[in-house]
Amino acid sequence: MSPHRRESPDRLYVITSGRSSGADDSLDAVTLIVAESAPAPGMQSEHADILRLCVSPMAVVEIAAHLRLPVTVVRILLTDLIDTGRVTARHPAPAPSPAHPLASPDVLEKVLVALHKL
């Protein structure tokens, strides 16, 4: 049985203070989270665990795996921490595509001309 299946729905309800939505929509599985402060006394244990885990950048899905919590629950907890400034989210850069190339055709042409001149 997976750890998520063993988790009581009641406990998950308590962890999120009864919320099942309200997470930052921009937090996807690969968003990197970095702690901006140390855990404070009296803090919710899951919030403190996230701050300890994210001393160096860690993806949302990795945090969920370490805490053995569903990603949806972790996203709600992370939104709480982002709102209080205790963590920051670093969104991955989008991959180049034909609509958004890494360099413009003008720049590529200038590079090609410069290479021919060598």
| The predicted structure's pLDDT at residue 71 | 92
- Does any domain span residue 59? yes
Task: Check: CB of residue 86 under 8 Å from CB of residue 36.
Answer: yes
- Does any domain span residue 70? yes
Q: What is the DSSP string of 28-74?
A: -TT-EEEESS---TT--HHHHHHHHHTTS-EEHHHHHHHHT--HHHH
Task: Check: CB of residue 89 under 8 Å from CB of residue 78.
Answer: yes
- Does any domain span residue 68? yes
| The predicted structure's pLDDT at residue 107 | 83
41 lies in which domain range? 32-94
Q: Which two tokens stand for residue 95?
A: 């991959």
- Does any domain span residue 39? yes
More confident residue, 66 or 5: 66
For 10, 40, 88, 91, 96, the CA distances from 52, given in Å and listed in that order, are: 25, 11, 14, 20, 34
Q: What is the mean pLDDT of the chain?
A: 86
CATH number for the domain spanning 44: value is 1.10.10
- Does any domain span residue 79? yes
Q: pLDDT for 64-112, tens place per residue?
A: 999 999 999 999 999 999 999 999 999 887 777 777 777 777 888 898 9
Structure pTM? 0.71
Is a pLDDT exceeding 70 seen at residue 33? yes
- Does any domain span residue 50? yes
Q: Which residues pair with 35 in a beta bridge?
A: 87
Is a pLDDT exceeding 80 seen at residue 21? no
- Does any domain span residue 107? no
- Does any domain span residue 8? no
| The predicted structure's pLDDT at residue 7 | 63
| The predicted structure's pLDDT at residue 64 | 95
Q: How many domains does the chain have?
A: 1
